[in-house]
Structure 1
């Protein structure tokens, strides 16, 4: 039997040297533990510092969470890269808008990483509600979702499911969708980036483990 093509996840920021590489390397490390070879996570920048390595403080964050920053070179976002992606996770709403300008067909496959994490939590809650025992007064039992035995197929359908609950995952403040850009700024901005990005990554990996 042919091996299914890996699920291709793309993370996007501006220079592709601070935020999106952290998301790329940590998602890849975590998803490899779910099923080796099932996921291919890459990143690109809307105005990339092409060929540059990951910024040192971002590299430190990657290593702190068990990933590796080695062998990285920033690359420019292109329509071809987008066409090859099953899921696009942008670091800010502005980046998401730039992806949409480049390829509007990706509307239901492109999210900011923080809003995508919130959407997965809503899907988790729906699944929990569907599998909970029915109330004694209810004559109808909610259907139990089938297990995701085919991980690539499950994840290729996931963006559409997430998009369907976008209206339920709206942030209290628009800035809650974004991850701060620490480039050419002090260590405190890298700490803020970590504080905003790490919970979203962990939420995505938790969802993947639950469905792996």
Structure 2
């Protein structure tokens, strides 16, 4: 759900053509390789206006971690699994809610401004600066409790739980997308 909601949020704010500089992908830390999206997840995505079509589960590989400027996970366990893969992943791997918490503490004026004259709109440079600033805050700006950085996996749960998790992810993504793009959410 997270990958599709994130991609949708970027496209809504930037327009599909302008979000090309930021590639949003997903992969799992275990199982579900080649599996379609769970039906409840697809329903929730459609409720948000995101397109669930074409989703196929894939396993997280070294090559994904190596080329990623930012890795967002649902849980601390997932984060630990990514970091254990090496590739300096610890500096750019966060749970979604951890990254949200850190991003909200970063002064946007310290980040590069979007630049419409650049092919990617300056978004890649801004995103890399944001990730570096968030990594620098880690350890200084702690969560009230470890559980507050978790998004629970609704796999196999009823649709009401999926909707609750969809709301949680959407709320956590909004400040992240604002910080990445420099554009506030549309009302």
Which residue in 2 is equivalent to 1:25? 4
Report how many residues are paired.
Answer: 174
* 2:19 match: secondary structure: coil
**Contact preservation (8 Å) 1:109, 1:160:** yes
Matched, 1:147 2:119: no
- Return the match for 1:89 from 72, 89, 95: 72
CA drift at 1:72: 0.7
Matched, 1:57 2:40: yes
**Contact preservation (8 Å) 1:52, 1:73:** yes
Matched, 1:157 2:141: no
What RMSD in Å do the two structures reach over aligned CA positions? Answer: 2.0
**Contact preservation (8 Å) 1:50, 1:76:** yes
Distance in 1 (alpha carbons) for counterparts of 2:112 and 2:127: 14
Distance in 2 (alpha carbons) for counterparts of 1:83 and 1:107: 12
**Contact preservation (8 Å) 2:130, 2:179:** no
- Gap runs ≥5 in structure 1: 1-21, 129-143
- Could you give the per-residue CA deviations for residues 66-119 of structure 1, whole angstroms, max 9, x where no partner exists? 210001100011111111111000100000000011125111100000010111
Q: Which structure has the larger Rg?
A: 1
Which residue in 1 is equivalent to 2:99? 116
For residues 171 and 70 of structure 1, do their structure 2 counterparts lie closer, same or farther at Cα, with a shift above 3 Å needed? same
Matched, 1:207 2:173: no
**Contact preservation (8 Å) 1:91, 1:178:** yes
Which residue in 2 is equivalent to 1:102? 85
Higher relative contact order (CA 8 A, sep 6+): 2
TM-score in terms of structure 1 length: 0.75
Which residue in 2 is equivalent to 1:44? 27
Distance in 2 (alpha carbons) for counterparts of 1:210 and 1:183: 33
- Gap runs ≥5 in structure 2: 116-121
Distance in 2 (alpha carbons) for counterparts of 1:105 and 1:24: 22
- Return the match for 1:186 from 150, 158, 164: 158
Distance in 2 (alpha carbons) for counterparts of 1:101 and 1:166: 18
**Contact preservation (8 Å) 1:115, 1:169:** no
* 1:53 match: secondary structure: coil
**Contact preservation (8 Å) 1:115, 1:171:** yes
Which residue in 1 is equivalent to 2:119? none
CA drift at 1:120: 1.1
TM-score in terms of structure 2 length: 0.84
